[in-house]
Copies of this chain bind each other. A is one copy, B any other.
């Protein structure tokens, strides 16, 4: 079913149908006839023809790189909410671990003429972004810092700093930090550095802190801590780069000390405020981020970029709340 067929049925021109759809001059009489014809035929206009003609899609592409699931859905919800309200559509692509998957997803979005692209927690592969620069498609990066690029992210450093310094540690405290590894910049170095800086502030030098590297999943946290405790050393605090890792840490600690809460058992801290963890192991110190807010801010930035009312590149850092202390 096409424009023209509907027009014929309504006894008007195809231009009139187009005007009906997009709100142009039209007599009430024709308006009704066209409405009836559309209703009757179940006509659905072709977005592709429109985009081809208009050279823009009023759609923003969103590339979700495999990460913490609730982060992804939270940020996405915020993005869509703002974009829809601003009259834009969203087109998502979920990218796993496969080689080139991110490049392919971005490329295919470009082919479909998205007007802007939002990259969520993807490690910035430089070559990929050139693609969009060349095409003058604005980019917003979420969850990562990128030099001289529009990005929205959380203050992982500050959050870890505050968490560490509010733990009540003294100079004799025995602390371990379970790092998420360098694959995830925000989980990795930012949190680790902030944590160490926070401890230093309360008098604990970096040398006194044991840092080991895990993955970012429950299992990886579990094995890292199991290995750590097998050494025979005792810790007052074991801090983890994510709540999932913290869950694994708790399991390892229980296996070592038994189920009762003894004084010598290390305290565990996490990152992310996972509701299940808080309910079952809580309250434990962790950090809460507002993912939806993050999506909204990113969308706002994108819409500003799209509307052209933007002076220069902006890097926005969102706050946090330390909970469970």
A interface with B by C-beta (< 8 Å): 42, 44-49, 51-52, 57, 66, 69-70, 72-73, 76-77, 80-81, 89-94, 96, 98, 107-108, 110-113, 131, 134-135, 217-219, 222, 243-244, 247-248, 250-251, 259-261, 274-282
B49 touches A76 (CB 8 A): no
The chain B residue with its CB closest to the CB of A90 is B93
- Inter-chain pairs besides A46-B111, A49-B52, 5 sampled, C-beta below 8 Å: A47-B112, A90-B94, A218-B276, A248-B279, A277-B280
Cβ of A190 to closest chain B Cβ, rounded Å: 22
CA distance A111 to B47 in the complex (A): 5
Within 8 Å by CB of A69, from B69, B96, B222, B259, lies: B69
Cβ of A99 to closest chain B Cβ, rounded Å: 12
Contacts of A261 in B (CB 8 A): 259
The chain B residue with its CB closest to the CB of A134 is B42
CA distance A217 to B278 in the complex (A): 13
Q: 25 A-B contacts, Cβ less than 8 Å apart? A: A44-B111, A47-B108, A47-B111, A47-B113, A48-B49, A48-B51, A48-B52, A48-B57, A66-B73, A77-B94, A80-B96, A81-B98, A89-B108, A90-B94, A91-B91, A91-B92, A91-B93, A92-B92, A92-B93, A217-B275, A218-B275, A218-B276, A218-B279, A276-B280, A280-B280
The chain B residue with its CB closest to the CB of A78 is B96
CA distance A245 to B107 in the complex (A): 41
B250 touches A279 (CB 8 A): yes
B42 touches A46 (CB 8 A): no
Contacts of A274 in B (CB 8 A): 276
CA distance A281 to B251 in the complex (A): 9
CA distance A250 to B76 in the complex (A): 30
Cβ of A283 to closest chain B Cβ, rounded Å: 10
CA distance A288 to B77 in the complex (A): 27
State the copy count for this chain: 2
Residue of A48, A93, A111, A247 with most partner-chain B CB within 10 A: A48
CA distance A244 to B260 in the complex (A): 24
A76 touches B94 (CB 8 A): yes
Contacts of A93 in B (CB 8 A): 90-92
Contacts of A251 in B (CB 8 A): 279-280, 282
CA distance A281 to B57 in the complex (A): 49
A94 touches B112 (CB 8 A): no
B44 touches A276 (CB 8 A): no
Contacts of A278 in B (CB 8 A): 218
CA distance A134 to B94 in the complex (A): 29
Contacts of A69 in B (CB 8 A): 69-70, 72-73
Cβ of A35 to closest chain B Cβ, rounded Å: 17
The chain B residue with its CB closest to the CB of A72 is B73
Cβ of A180 to closest chain B Cβ, rounded Å: 15
